[in-house]
């Protein structure tokens, strides 16, 4: 149980944030959070950062588990965490508003 | 992309889905349940719900069962010692009259009473890959065809999705039902795409020898030769011996197997043609801590105890095949991954169901009274909610039928399966006879059946969810009951929402 709390849950959160960052670079989802669009350079930077976060999660999974388990875990959690972001944006988009604001902060 | 090409792919996607959606849903539904086959077995066989033994039972304690197999001139006998998914041991052997299987108490070594059920590992799992259509291997071929169709559906689905990246996270619960269904279909399809493709492809690879036998036929005199070589079972390739030969000590032979391995424990001990002069004892090393299903088998002569074979590590191509087999069959013990598979499997079911419902919602206004529409409507109800009801009927009959039940010339296990098919056929008929209310009524029935199954488990065994949760060894039972209760609640909410929206009207508009 402690391993679950110390590794899998933070990993889920990490992937969730990465997907939330990706989603919140899209205008439709930003609007749903009550935010305006991001400048193109910021969008590119955030998407790159989210991509690196996703890849880093793969590295961490493989390092923590074996290569086989780590890869399968990463693939499975990618789907679930992306789904969680989509459902949250569908039902309670305002919950992601703080993150959306944070993404725009330095330029506003 | 060329509009004509996309239109052609759209046509392919629609009709491949409509034609094979029912088979695909059955395969994915049963596959999803098979993720927890051993846990469902424990629910269906209350006598096997035992705390794990503090000490491993010596292999010689299984000798009485082995002697029975020898007396019955069994083709093979094997024992599976307890593991962290299953606290009981099990022995199996095959005689000329049939397959014999017993569960063994891990502490006393006594044979547990026959549960009179095939359970999930004997019914649900084989249904996943054979549909229980054994004539001319028809079920396996149908599964292969549906799997190929699934790959085509995945690729064509990506091609016809106009805004795959723009709508990657799009889910709009407040939109009209038709749009909502398409969102659900896209979401479960796109986000679960790696899982759908990985599992479908690996499933085809596992059954590759059946679907693509040409290369094997070209290299081996018969398929059995390939099977033996690919699985490290070359020790089985011997001429039949004379009966009356002794079988050496299983424990002493196991000690020698451990010396060969360096360490490790067996997940299966097999005695091939026990009691004959060419008999073999094989130890299959436990490989549940890795994805790759590479069999490390050490085989000895059962009469002399002499080492017969220990195949070298497989080549890269076989190892790749075994990685794919391993990731599909979930042979490994990894609870987080097991639950992930289960949830993603449900996602695949959602993908197929939402595709069916979207097809109907798009055509209901114009074609609701046509024969083709009515046919697909009944077919989809029977194959989506119908198979869920049938599965629940299988569980309920397991708890209701008395031990040793016998009726219509069928034993208890066959009666359970009879209930499954009876309810399934009934669900199809219901879908065709009451198209306007079918989804509401079948959702309500799922809710009632699920709650009833959990309740019957409590009444017949005394293991209510709180008791199961409090005892670690009963967690598989608790998990099953919890899922039944959650499923019941969700089905009730669905039925209520459908009934409230447009009472008396066709449901496809209201989903």
Among candidates B173, B327, B347 on the partner chain, residue whose Cβ is nearest the Cβ of A72: B327
Strand partners, B270: B78, B282
What pLDDT digit, counting tens, does each position of B9-28 carry?
A: 999 999 999 999 999 999 99
Dist. CA B81–CA B65, nearest whole Å = 14
What pLDDT digit, counting tens, does each position of B89-102 carry?
A: 999 999 888 889 99
Residue B452: CA atoms inside 13 Å, Cβ hemisphere, count? 17
Give A-chain residues touching B171 at CB under 8 angstroms.
86-87, 89-90
Q: How far is B332 from chain A (nearest CA, A)?
A: 9
Question: Using an 8 Å Cβ cutoff, are B16 and B156 in contact?
Answer: yes
Dist. CA A104–CA A86, nearest whole Å = 21
What pLDDT digit, counting tens, does each position of B164-179 carry?
A: 888 899 999 988 889 9
Question: In sequence order, what are the residues at sequence separation of 6 or more whose Cβ sits closer than 8 angstroms to the Cβ of residue A5?
Answer: none
pLDDT band at B508 (very low <50, low <70, confident <90, very high): very low
Specify the pLDDT at position B225: 84
CA neighbor of B129 nearest in space, from B322, B406, B329, B269: B329
CA angle B274, B276, B282 (to 5 degrees): 45
Task: Quote the tokens at residue B307.
Answer: 């080492």
Render B405-456 in DSSP notation, one character per residue.
--BTTB-HHHHHHHHHHHHHHHHHHHHHH-TTTHHHHHHHHHHHHHHHHHHH
Dist. CA B240–CA B228, nearest whole Å = 16
Question: In sequence order, what are the residues at sequence separation of 6 or more whose Cβ sits closer than 8 angstroms to the Cβ of residue B466?
Answer: none
pLDDT band at A54 (very low <50, low <70, confident <90, very high): very high
Contact B336 A73 (CB under 8 A): yes
pLDDT band at A53 (very low <50, low <70, confident <90, very high): very high
CA neighbor of B456 nearest in space, from B397, B384, B376, B382: B397
Mutation for B interface: A17, A69, A81, A88, most B CBs within 10 A? A69
CA B149 to chain centre: 20
Q: How far is B507 from chain A (nearest CA, A)?
A: 23
Domain borders along chain A are: 11-107
Specify the pLDDT at position B503: 52
Q: Using a CB–CB cutoff of 8 Å, tell me whether B475 touches chain A.
A: no
Q: What are phi and psi of B300, to 5 degrees?
A: -130, 160
Specify the pLDDT at position B222: 83
Q: Closest residue of A to B337, CA-based?
A: A73
Q: Which residue has the higher pLDDT, B441 or B57?
A: B441
Q: What are phi and psi of A92, to 5 degrees?
A: -130, 65
H helix runs in B46-88, sequence order? 63-71
């Amino acid at each position: 149980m402690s391993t679950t709390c110390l590794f899998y849950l933070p990993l889920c959160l990490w992937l969730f944030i990465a997907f939330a960052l990706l989603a919140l670079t899209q205008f439709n989802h930003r609007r749903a959070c009550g935010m305006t669009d991001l400048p193109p350079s910021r969008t590119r930077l955030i998407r790159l950062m989210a991509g690196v976060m996703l890849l880093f999660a793969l590295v961490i999974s493989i390092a923590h588990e074996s290569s086989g388990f780590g890869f399968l875990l990463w693939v499975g959690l990618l789907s679930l965490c992306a789904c969680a972001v989509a459902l949250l944006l569908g039902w309670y988009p305002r919950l992601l508003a703080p993150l959306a604001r944070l993404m725009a902060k330095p330029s506003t | 992309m060329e509009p004509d090409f996309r239109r052609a792919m759209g046509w392919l996607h629609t009709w491949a889905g409509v034609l094979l959606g029912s088979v695909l849903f059955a395969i994915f539904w049963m596959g999803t349940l098979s993720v927890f086959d051993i846990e469902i077995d424990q629910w269906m066989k209350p006598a096997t719900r035992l705390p794990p033994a503090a000490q491993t039972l010596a292999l010689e304690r299984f000798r009485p069962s082995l002697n029975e197999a020898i007396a019955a001139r069994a083709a093979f006998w094997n024992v599976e010692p307890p593991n962290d998914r299953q606290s009981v041991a099990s022995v199996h052997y095959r005689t000329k009259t049939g397959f014999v299987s017993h569960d063994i108490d891990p502490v006393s070594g006594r044979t547990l009473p026959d549960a009179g059920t095939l359970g999930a590992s004997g019914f649900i799992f084989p249904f996943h890959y054979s549909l229980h259509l054994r004539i001319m291997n028809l079920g396996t071929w149908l599964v292969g065809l549906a799997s190929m169709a699934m790959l085509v559906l995945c690729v064509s689905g990506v091609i016809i999705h106009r805004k795959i990246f723009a709508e990657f996270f799009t889910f709009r619960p407040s939109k009209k039902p038709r749009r909502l269904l398409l969102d659900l279909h896209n979401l479960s399809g796109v986000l679960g795409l790696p899982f759908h493709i990985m599992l479908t492809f690996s499933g085809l690879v596992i059954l590759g020898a059946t679907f693509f036998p040409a290369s094997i036929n070209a290299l081996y005199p018969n398929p059995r030769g390939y099977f033996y070589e690919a699985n490290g079972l070359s020790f089985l390739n011997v001429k039949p011996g004379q009966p009356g030969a002794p079988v050496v000590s299983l424990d002493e032979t196991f000690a020698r197997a451990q010396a060969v391995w360096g360490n490790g424990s067996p997940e299966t001990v097999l005695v091939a043609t026990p009691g004959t002069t060419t008999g073999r004892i094989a130890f299959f090393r436990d490989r549940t801590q890795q994805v790759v299903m590479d069999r490390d088998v050490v085989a000895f002569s059962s009469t002399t105890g002499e080492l017969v074979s220990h195949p070298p590590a497989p080549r890269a191509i076989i190892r790749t095949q075994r990685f794919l087999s391993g990731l599909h069959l979930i042979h490994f013990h990894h609870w987080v991954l097991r639950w992930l598979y289960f949830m993603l499997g449900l996602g695949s079911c959602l993908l197929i169901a939402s595709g069916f419902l979207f097809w109907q919602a798009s055509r209901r206004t114009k074609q609701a009274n046509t024969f083709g529409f009515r046919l697909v409507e009944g077919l989809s109800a029977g194959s989506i909610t119908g198979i869920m009801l049938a599965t629940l009927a299988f569980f309920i009959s397991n708890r209701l039928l008395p031990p040793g039940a016998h009726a219509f010339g069928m034993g208890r296990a066959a009666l359970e399966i009879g209930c499954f098919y009876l309810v399934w056929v009934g669900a199809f008929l219901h879908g065709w006879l009451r198209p306007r209310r079918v989804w509401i009524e079948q959702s309500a029935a799922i809710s009632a059946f699920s709650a009833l199954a959990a309740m019957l488990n409590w009444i017949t065994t005394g293991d209510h969810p709180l008791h199961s949760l409090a005892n670690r060894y009963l967690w598989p039972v608790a998990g099953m009951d919890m899922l039944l209760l959650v499923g019941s609640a969700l089905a009730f909410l669905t039925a209520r929402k459908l009934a409230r929206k447009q009472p008396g009207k066709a449901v496809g508009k209201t989903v």
